Amino acid sequence: MTAKRPAETASSPLPPSSIIAHSTSPPTIRRKLNNSLHASIKRGSTEDWDSGDYESQKDNTTEEGEIVESPAAPSSRSDGRRVFHIKGSDGQHGSASTPSSPAQLEQDRVKLSQVVIASGSSTPKALPSSIPIKHHFYGCSFAKVEYDELGKLGEGTFGEVYKARHKRTGRLVALKKILMHNEKEGFPITALREIRILKELSHKNVIPLLEMTIERAVWDKNTKKRGQIYMVTPYMDHDLAGLLENPSVSFSIAQIKCYMLQLLAGTKYLHDNQILHRDMKAANLLIDNEGILKIADFGLARKFEEEPPKFGDEGAGPARREYTNCVVTRWYRPPELLLGERKYTAAIDMWGVGCIFGEMYRHKPILAGTSDMDQLQKIFMLCGSPTQEAMPGWDKLPDAGGLRFPQFPRRLESDFNEIGAVGVALLADMLTLDPRKRITAVNAISHSFFTTKPLPAAPHELPSYVSSHEYDARKLREQRAIRYEPNSRGRQQRWNQGQ
């Protein structure tokens, strides 16, 4: 079964459930990809996988969609190449050959990457010779053959990101290494969902997945190195968090409006296609020196069942089913999640968009709590204490039992008066305590904030900056925090000569 394509996605020859049957993938990596992708291929979707129902998806044994080597391969080809095929639901096989030596890789890679084996299909489908680089998934390649690594861009719980240059084209890309915390459990479910979703999406304000690339394992007498799997995306010069921490960067109101319109356009596209991002924050918004903003890091994203928000509707409506509430970075987490809500909607993303909006003016997070309770207190100090009028049913949420908060007066309008009355109104709509009344992306785009002067700048009118990433800013903060360390005699000595 093939999953439904998003409504606004450009036509593509790649079925969402397809796999590139690629060349000389190491047996260990092929096996891990097989085991983890079985259920996705068989069902045609990973949208039901979440922390609450993952246990039911652990059975990785199925014949359908498995990449296997043809037993007749060695004798069936005169050139000595091995033949692999993918078994479909009809029991038929599509096949692709693999080069027998690394010297043939560059010659055969392009041919092989143009063969798509669709689940349930008995014949390979050839891709067109010209593929728009920003909107199509190429396939799989070898990292050491195709890319020169240039340095580290960031790291997190689910992966590390490196800057690299494509050897043949010179194009800069970002390589996101997928971390295998427990290889016995197979391919990480977060990475599988992220790959799945990114292959389905195509929008100028959403980061595209260009291809997957692998680094082969090395096991010999002198070296023991595990294989690595990377996601390849376009390189972006900055992330918003890095720009906001750069003391030489200041945003004009027209610039903020330009970035906010792009953020809302990308968010609307996700919600129109029933996708929750679930980790909206400044560090996950990438910006290039052409002024284009793209939403990135879909490791926590998933499909939702409710109808997409419609223009003119008040809020995203009621939720139909439960999801895990262990999502969204704390500083951008809405109050309903902090109080244990598991039935939530696209409104949780809009709270994060509101936090980012305020952060663009302050150049720092506006709700930086040190714990969940402190985060709730900071939210209520800004937006006012929860009441049955402001947040109906808050005291009935799973983690609200016994919680009592002082009667904080609402300070949002006075604290952000520098934004102006229209800007504060938009911020207040985004930071509404009641998720059912929180403004949606489709309505926010039409807000009068974007039609009042100064009007939003065009992306190409925005200034360019020296590369700024949150990872670099964090490393600098760590160096400044550890200026001194005790020497052997207990005296303080200078830790960093540059400080």
Contact 146, 167 (CB under 8 A): yes
Give me the phi and psi of 442, to 5 degrees please: -65, -35
Contact 435, 336 (CB under 8 A): yes
CB atoms within 10 A of CB 182: 7
The answer for residues whose C-beta is within 8 angstroms of residue 25's C-beta and 6 or more apart is: 33, 140, 214
Considering only CA atoms, which of 144, 156, 136, 118 is closest in space to residue 216?
144
Look up 279 and say whether it is catalytic.
yes
Cα 297 from Cα 236, distance rounded (Å) = 13
Contact 441, 350 (CB under 8 A): yes
Strand partners, 68: 85
Contact 331, 281 (CB under 8 A): yes
User: Residue 305 CA to chain centroid, in angstroms?
Assistant: 20
Considering only CA atoms, which of 264, 26, 18 is closest in space to residue 136?
18
Which of 50, 279, 297, 434 is flagged as catalytic? 279
Contact 26, 216 (CB under 8 A): yes
Instruction: Count Cβ atoms within 10 A of the Cβ of residue 259 and give its class: 0-12 exposed, 13-18 middle, 19 or more buried.
Output: buried
Residue 318: both structure tokens together: 């009621």
Residue 454: both structure tokens together: 């100064």
Considering only CA atoms, which of 455, 9, 419 is closest in space to residue 261?
455
Considering only CA atoms, which of 185, 23, 2 is closest in space to residue 97?
23
For residue 479, give Cα distances in angstroms to 152, 268, 472, 485, 497.
17, 39, 11, 12, 11
The answer for residues whose C-beta is within 8 angstroms of residue 485's C-beta and 6 or more apart is: 492, 493, 495
N residues, the chain = 499
DSSP 299: T
Q: Which helix (H) or strand (E) holds 219?
A: strand 218-219
CB atoms within 10 A of CB 478: 9
Considering only CA atoms, which of 422, 419, 411 is closest in space to residue 444?
422
Contact 186, 205 (CB under 8 A): no
Residue 386: both structure tokens together: 């929860």
> Looking at the annotation, which residues are catalytic?
279
